[in-house]
Structure 1
Amino acid sequence: LLTEGNHDLLIKAFGPDGKPVEVPARIRIPGADLSAPVRIAYPLNGVEVSGTVPIRVKVDPDLQRQKPYVTFFINKELKVLRNFPPYEYNWDTTKYVNGWHVLEAWTQSPDMAAPYKSRPVNVNVNNSGGFTQRQTIIEDLRTAEPQRAEAKPAGPPTPPPSRSIVLAPEPASSTGQPGRPARTAARPTAVGSSKPVEPSTTGRAVRTLPNPVAPSMTTAPDSLPRVAPSLVASAPVAPSVRPRPVAKVVRPTVKVQKGETLAAVSRKTGADVKEIARLNNLPEQARTQLPAGRSLIVPQVGAFDVAYDGVPIAFDVTPRFEAGIGLAPIRQVFEHTGGRLYWYGGTAQTVRAVNDTREIQLKIGDDRATVNNRSIKLERKPFIDTGRTLVPVSFFRDALDVQVQFDAATGRMSIRSK
């Protein structure tokens, strides 16, 4: 369980005379075999990990051309298969107990005779607070039967040791009045001697308890003390409630570009032509050019929220309708599935997205995308808006094999796993 590299050891032994003998030594933990057909490149052996850890596997280039399946194992338990690079698996260590765990990766050999196995990697999971294993069955101690004593040979019965407390009778009142107890406390008299109690059913150590001594007992006073008026509870006072300020409703606007018509604004925002004309006191002439630079009020139908399996997703570029097509940034939606995005700028202008089951590649301005080496046509070409790549929402349906449905009443686009 040591990390790779050299480690200094100090071996100490004690002889019969009690004198120590020390011997220094050095061991070397070899690193990963770079020539192995399959090996775990990250994490390294013996390191401490926490949170979500990417397990990266390197495959021999000649073997990689055959597109082999790489199998990820954690503690001998199969987790996921990969047949395309990068061979990665995001391991959520918060679902595992703190301590040492073994990582392995396998792939098949070209002759399919025996799998290639990576050298096991031991890592120490150390999350803050650790992982709590919930106990599903809780024993009800109230219904537990008491421990039965072993059978003893026949003979005269012996009474069990008594632990009860017997109080001596109260002495006569010093006033001589019958029925009134004395002001002095009654003295308890213990019966029995100090003996060990029975063994606990929970397996704890046995203790010897002395005979308990009853506390001193005094009589109640003849009358209760008077309570000061200031301490008497008054009627409850209702808390003061300050009204919350009402937020002002800000209607979205759009600035008219040169040569745009009402129909062009409708296609750009996804709003109805009649609704835009009503809000801005314009005639419903879709083909009439509008003055450039004018701000038009548009209904809030262009923007919408997105929820994946009921969990809302936060965006820095708002999803919206344009020309009747729902658009949303691909990064936030895909990262919600546990995947990663890679951007290749310059002349490539390409997005590469990888998660546990998908590898997606699309190019800005190209209406064809590749999903696991399968070509898919998009409703609209991907484009960049404020540094984010926007794609049609229908692309998530085709690429991620999910259900997509828009609720006009709530303004939410719902994405659900099948």
Structure 2
Amino acid sequence: MGTHSHTHNFSEQFEFSGKAKTYSLVAILVGIVAIAYGFLTEDGSNHHAERTFANLLLMGYYFTCVCAAGTFFLAVQYVAQAGWSAGLIRIPQAFSKVLPIASIILIIIAAAGLGTHNLYHHWNGEGLTEVGHKNYDPLIAGKAGYLNAPFFLTRLVIFLAIYSFFGYLLPKLSNNEDLEGGLNSYKRSIKNSAIFLVIFGFTTPIWAFDTIMSLEAHWFSTMFGWYNFAAMWVTGLSAIAITVILLKKNGYLTWINDNHIHDLGKFMFAFSIFWTYVWFAQFLLIYYANMPEETVYFYKRFEPEYLPWFWLNLIMNFVSPLLILMTRDAKRKMNVMLFVAILIICGHWLDYYMMIMPGTVEAHRGFGIIEIGIFFGFVGLFTFLTLNALSKVALAPKNHPFLEESVHHHI
């Protein structure tokens, strides 16, 4: 442990102040104003409160997904005993520390969404499961044992509580490693990461089925969970890349070099293609099977209001990352990587928008202050909480057994 290079200050800490703090607080304020605008205003054509709830669900889910992706990143690195990522591990750890807060916010939004302006009206509406009622729906009645409000919220709370527990535990073990040295905390991290990955792998699709797919309860896809996982993972990687690059540009993380950025770029490139593979496979299977109960999902998204977004979704999340990051040099240029990472973050916001809006605001569609403002509000909240968590510890895990390998990483 004592062989680490002395050319880098492994005790350096991020100071959360100045423009970063100001901009994040301003963005949070913008989000609060947009939410207030949505709930307090109405006009003749748009029911703003309904749209506001849908956008809160979108961003609450997105926020939680990015934080969960940070915990997943940590777990993968520990189980693989990866060396390259040791020098930047504090960034996903900061995401992971925010996961409990993001989880609470999502649970509150989902619980509220079951009541006021019922987002889950396709299965939580009046009389849908009561034989003889004018709203009776035999298909929904057949799913009532699973799709009912108490069981729905119980699953959501249990899943997010488990994710949050590991999100708290893995950074804590890393901090213990800094204080105590040795390999005990690292070995415990590997063991707990393996447990987390098994749980996460089995429950993530169910989490996506419940929170997003059940918004249109007549429709189902067994690939939907992995489609959501692919979006979660590539946006998490992009958020890590943005944070690393901006810290580098501000003089931090001196031990991170072009090779680390290149590796992040390879992941972003690869999983943008993986997301597209799952997206297209789901689309193709539904298209050629030509079953009305499944084709209706894409029929809605081919309506005039959504069709431009449908194609833009593919351009932002597949075509652009594929073409821009195809070469080795592109993945080693920080400005190019920063642009693509921001593009992917925005692209998968659009991806989630296309998953959520057609099933929740069917009669009162719109796009404007509410959507943009709430997006910036949650970006500000994520930035504030993440950078605040990052400022509490040294930016390098000084006793990580592979820190020296990471410092000399070269590809």
**TM-score normalised by L of structure 1:** 0.19
| Larger relative contact order (CA 8 Å, sep ≥ 6) | 2
| Structure with greater proportional strand content | 1
Rg (Cα) greater in structure: 1
| Structure with greater proportional helix content | 2
